[in-house]
Structure 1
């Protein structure tokens, strides 16, 4: 059985090394292939990683000349996993996601036997102890997409406001989010999943040349994946039996020292992706 792990790397030197090292501690190393996709870092970080973690039979480095974004970068690793290694399971990880369970692959196979999933999401735990799966808010109709676009526009202008006003807005938003995420972590089927760690089954791999809609650059990939997946009657499963740690926003933090600029970058790309999702919804509704 072949398990391919795709790590999307963008300038996160230490995080990517740690991610690889955790994968090398998993059981059944002879069945595991690691593919590190350097997404046009252009900062020599991938060369430093190669010196510290030497390329070998079950570790492949792939370098893109420029930043393809989240969807296309992961699609590149997926295509190699499918066609070069004939993967039966493809695991997609952000470079700041760490797997500590040595029996991780065995647990995934066991969950698949029980659920016959197309896409599986683990319990993703942040450094603050928050749980990111299952995703508690998803843009699955045009009204919600419009609402998210409007909220993003308000947040964009708020990023230019004095610190006190911004903190008040942030405080109110967090309070609302906390009330929405108070839920028991049990196995759930047909739920949206966080993009930091996604597992694709053999059934999904057979039916798809790539997992992510390629027209986005960053953000809303989970929304589009879930929307299209539900149209195709695919099975999304969240299981707390498997856990990963997520030190989120590592790549974005390296790119932006100014938090206001970082926030505006996220909002702009989020809205671009949401508009693509909206177009998909409209075209499907017109059929």
Structure 2
């Protein structure tokens, strides 16, 4: 029997967290463990979770005094599981994810036996947009591309309503691509981008951060999951480069699947949509500037 630990990062959205935990209960064994990290919600939902699961031996809860962001919040949970248990795998998941595949854990083991991955990404399906998020990309971003993105986001910071329209058009485009393969192929051709087909398996690609399956190969070597630690955004890109440099194999497999109720916790954090967008844009810029410095330093070291 092998052990799987589930790490669920919680922020304010109690109903989604409970739904996520119940879905894990449905597919896991009595040997598995679940850790909920309340990332400084400040609304007593962490205390409510403690009360709800106080008699459940599978569930542990950590309550952080403040919101430390996605990377640091997950790292605290990862370090706790790594220190207190001896897991074969840690499934790091958003609280707005639902595990519906009965063979989820069996598939993890089967894929590991074939691929010996350090990190595995499942098919991430968003029912609201009829979209699939994995894999994120086949190769990393160049410094000129990143500098261009930073300028774009800085411009959007001045025009948040324009960015709101962009988000709407992006969702519409993704929905069209999900239903019409020729449109996806045409877009890839026009933008000179490698086409990504979620029906195919890939290795050493960027994986979507809403659900990452970490094997003992990674756990035994790394005290942190995410390093560096941006507050929000670009975590998957940093992880991609870390794995690439250290020759840690990442795998995307469509054989394993989850459902993602995208950005539910983020929406719960602020009722004003424009305020949410301003917050997003601020951290898009900060994370990309951190990534730019990281890539520039890496370039200097390699020359």
TM (normalized to structure 1)?
0.91
Residues 145 and 55 of structure 1, relative CA distance in 2, 3 Å threshold: farther
Residues 166 and 111 of structure 1, relative CA distance in 2, 3 Å threshold: closer
Query: Residue 71 of structure 1 corresponds to which residue in structure 2?
Result: 71
Distance 1:207 1:216 in 2: 21
Q: Show CA shifts across 1:165-221 (max 9, x none).
A: 963x45655566643577351111111000000011110111100110243111110
Q: Does 1:277 align with 2:291?
A: yes
- Cα distance, 1:145 vs. partner? 1.4
The 8 Å contact of residues 38 and 62 in structure 1, kept in 2 or not, is answered as: yes
Q: How does 1:96-245 map to 2 (within 5 A)?
A: 96-128=96-128, 129-136=130-137, 139-160=140-161, 167=165, 169-170=166-167, 173=170, 178=177, 179=184, 180=188, 183-245=197-259
Q: Which runs of 5+ in 1 are unaligned?
A: none
Q: Which runs of 5+ in 2 are unaligned?
A: 178-183, 189-194
Aligned residues: 282
Tell me, what secondary structure is at the counterpart of 1:286?
helix
The 8 Å contact of residues 232 and 283 in structure 2, kept in 1 or not, is answered as: yes
Residues 155 and 136 of structure 1, relative CA distance in 2, 3 Å threshold: farther
Residues 137 and 11 of structure 1, relative CA distance in 2, 3 Å threshold: farther
The 8 Å contact of residues 17 and 53 in structure 1, kept in 2 or not, is answered as: no
- Cα distance, 1:49 vs. partner? 2.4
Q: Show CA shifts across 1:94-121 (max 9, x none).
A: 0001101122111101001111111100
Distance 2:138 2:47 in 1: 38
The 8 Å contact of residues 89 and 201 in structure 1, kept in 2 or not, is answered as: yes
Name which of structure 1's ranges 87-96 and 174-183 shifts more when overlaid on structure 2: 174-183
The 8 Å contact of residues 72 and 214 in structure 1, kept in 2 or not, is answered as: no
Distance 1:74 1:36 in 2: 10
Distance 2:266 2:168 in 1: 22
Distance 2:14 2:142 in 1: 38
Q: Show CA shifts across 1:210-246 (max 9, x none).
A: 1102431111101111112111111111011111111
Name which of structure 1's ranges 127-136 and 203-212 shifts more when overlaid on structure 2: 127-136
- RMSD, matched Cα: 2.0
TM (normalized to structure 2)?
0.87
Distance 2:241 2:201 in 1: 20
Residues 173 and 60 of structure 1, relative CA distance in 2, 3 Å threshold: closer
Residues 184 and 283 of structure 1, relative CA distance in 2, 3 Å threshold: closer
